[in-house]
């Protein structure tokens, strides 16, 4: 039973008041896409069904009202906060969806420097929380490139990871407790304890659900001491990616936890390091942080490991430090990049995957070779590893293409999805995971069953249990045949 657009808007207004229900067409257009279809946004062409409204929730109670209403009437709800998602997870797949926006829930509820925990509402920008705790000598340790713009709700919903993850972990290592609202309006509060073994860890149903199971309203994250005075930066140039991966592996296997450990291939290095790297150079970049003794030992350990590989040439640490200080993208950088895209029709895209040490190089090489030979108008193709573990690492493919003889709304079909296909195919063939940290969104859903194999029924069961009427972010994570 489908409600009309007007009836949906009227219903929402009665629940929350007209002030919280936005129906301005420009806002609706912008809310129907995320960075996956950023070209549409830049050129003002919108092909996703317009939502009926953007609802600005002010409290958990209001979220409950909206989800209950939506569940009752079969209305598709797309949860949203900072809007920096890249995989289509925020697209409105259904006509007259409701975009449920949590950015007004922007209170920092508590900062507990004794228990080293901070509790915030879902609409708090990470930068705001980070700046606040830094005043107290602390850090969240979480620094994705979207930090200036992304909010905590979305960062938890997508299982995000930041630049310092090799030391602090991903968001899943940082979340303590949380509160989420499920379809039908049930509220779950998960308390803040350091660890428990009282059954499976249910936080992992929420972390990474990408709005397909619930709406996150509150998050508690760990805090760490902020000791930037002990930061150390190391950089090396080398010719071989294979060597580079081996260096990273040795660093991890020997127990070192630099906050940053990155390996750039020549194509990607050319974008960042051309002022000191040759066109055929790979670049290794490390940052060690923490207590003085730890930071010094980490840096020394890395230097010793790299020293075993004669082809690695050291570069001045200040080069890496300066580069690192300019890495995050604020709204003005985004706007500048959008203008560049508008003028040049040259688009930058990324796709990130993960695999064990023994498979990652082949996946990287095979995928890149296929991209360069099978896809037209490529202007740059390369990648870097930025998140390492004892048993493997990620590969962040970075590529640019000119959009030629193609209207903006067809760019995704002509270029982006074919490249994603190549990367997913090669990754699955190599036994890796098709998505390291950006989330499945809607873009990589075609490969989700192959990604999970025989374990897919477990994922399926979550959807059937928590969203039986299929109102939560249709098209995200779960293929349409999973939803009743």
14 binds another protein (CB under 8 A): no
25 binds another protein (CB under 8 A): no
240 binds another protein (CB under 8 A): no
47 binds another protein (CB under 8 A): no
State which residue, 309 or 323, has the beta carbon closest to another protein: 323
User: 3-state DSSP call for residue 462?
Assistant: helix
Span 395-434, contacts to another protein by CB under 8 A: 400-402
Backbone angles phi, psi at 472, to 5 degrees: -90, 105
State which residue, 191 or 275, has the beta carbon closest to another protein: 275
State which residue, 81 or 388, has the beta carbon closest to another protein: 81
Extended beta strands in 33-171, E state: 53-56, 77-80, 98-101, 108-112, 117-121, 138-139
* Gap between the Cα atoms of 377 and 357, Å rounded: 31
Which residue in this structure is represented by tokens 């048993």?
391
DSSP 151: B
Rounded least distance, CB 44 to another protein, Å: 11
Evaluate whether 124 touches 110 at the Cβ level (below 8 Å). Answer: no
**Contact residues for 46 (Cβ-Cβ < 8 A; gap 6+):** 29, 32, 33, 40
x/- contact string, 368-397, with another protein (CB under 8 A)? ----x----xxxxx----------------
State which residue, 342 or 452, has the beta carbon closest to another protein: 342
Span 252-271, contacts to another protein by CB under 8 A: 270
Residue of 193, 194, 326, 481 interacting with another protein (CB under 8 A): 326
* Gap between the Cα atoms of 181 and 158, Å rounded: 16
* Choices 52-60, 75-83, 250-258, 330-338 (CB under 8 A): range interacting with another protein: 330-338
332 binds another protein (CB under 8 A): yes
Beta-strand pair 392-402/388-389? antiparallel
State which residue, 203 or 272, has the beta carbon closest to another protein: 272
User: Among 396, 480, 349, 330, which residue's Cα sits nearest to residue 37?
Assistant: 349
Residues that contact another protein, how many (by CB under 8 A): 35
Backbone angles phi, psi at 281, to 5 degrees: -85, 140
- For another protein, the binding residues (CB under 8 A) are 26, 270, 272-275, 279, 316, 318-319, 321-323, 325-326, 331-332, 335-336, 338-340, 342-344, 346, 372, 377-381, 400-402
């Amino acid at each position: 039973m489908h409600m009309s657009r007007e009836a949906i808007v009227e219903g929402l207004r009665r629940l929350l008041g007209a002030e919280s229900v936005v129906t301005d067409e420009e806002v609706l257009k912008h809310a129907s896409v995320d960075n996956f279809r950023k070209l549409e946004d830049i050129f003002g062409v919108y092909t996703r069904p317009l939502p009926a409204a953007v609802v600005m929730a002010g409290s958990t109670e209001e979220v409950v009202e909206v989800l209950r209403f939506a569940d009752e009437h079969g209305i598709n709800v797309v949860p949203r906060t900072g809007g920096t998602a890249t995989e289509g997870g925020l697209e409105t797949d259904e006509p007259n969806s409701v975009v449920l926006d949590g950015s007004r829930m922007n209170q920092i509820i508590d900062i507990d420097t004794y228990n080293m925990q901070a509790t915030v509402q879902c609409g708090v920008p990470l930068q705001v929380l980070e700046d606040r705790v830094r005043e107290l000598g602390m850090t969240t340790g979480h620094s994705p490139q979207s930090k200036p713009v992304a909010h905590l709700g979305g960062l938890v919903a997508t299982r995000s990871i930041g630049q310092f993850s090799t030391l602090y972990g991903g968001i899943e290592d940082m979340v303590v407790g949380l509160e989420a609202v499920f379809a039908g309006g049930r509220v779950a509060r998960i308390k803040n304890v350091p660890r428990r073994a009282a059954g499976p860890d249910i936080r992992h149903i929420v972390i990474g659900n990408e709005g397909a199971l619930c709406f996150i309203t509150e998050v508690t994250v760990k805090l760490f001491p902020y000791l930037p005075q002990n930061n150390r930066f190391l950089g090396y140039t080398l010719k071989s990616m294979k060597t580079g991966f081996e260096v990273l592996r040795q660093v991890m296997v020997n127990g070192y936890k630099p906050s940053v450990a990155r390996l750039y291939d020549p194509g990607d290095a050319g974008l960042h390091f051309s002022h000191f790297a040759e066109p055929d150079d790979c670049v290794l970049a490390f940052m060690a942080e923490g207590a003085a003794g730890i930071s010094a030992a980490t840096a020394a350990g890395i230097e010793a490991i790299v020293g075993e590989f004669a082809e690695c040439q050291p570069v001045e640490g200040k080069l890496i430090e300066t580069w690192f200080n300019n890495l995050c993208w604020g709204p003005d950088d985004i706007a500048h990049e959008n203008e560049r895209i508008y003028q040049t029709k040259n688009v930058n895209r990324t796709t990130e995957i993960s695999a064990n040490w023994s498979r990652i190089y082949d996946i990287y090489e095979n995928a890149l070779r296929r991209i360069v030979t099978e896809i037209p108008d490529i202007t740059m193709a390369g990648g870097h590893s930025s998140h390492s573990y004892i048993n493997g690492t990620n590969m962040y493919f970075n590529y640019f293409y000119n959009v030629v003889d193609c209207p903006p709304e067809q760019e995704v079909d002509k270029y982006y999805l074919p490249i994603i296909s190549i990367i997913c195919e090669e990754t699955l063939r190599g036994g890796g995971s098709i998505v390291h940290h950006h989330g499945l969104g809607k873009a990589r859903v075609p490969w989700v069953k192959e990604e999970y194999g025989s374990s897919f029924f477990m994922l399926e069961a979550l959807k059937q249990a928590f969203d039986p009427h299929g109102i939560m972010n249709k098209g995200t994570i779960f293929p349409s045949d999973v939803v009743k």
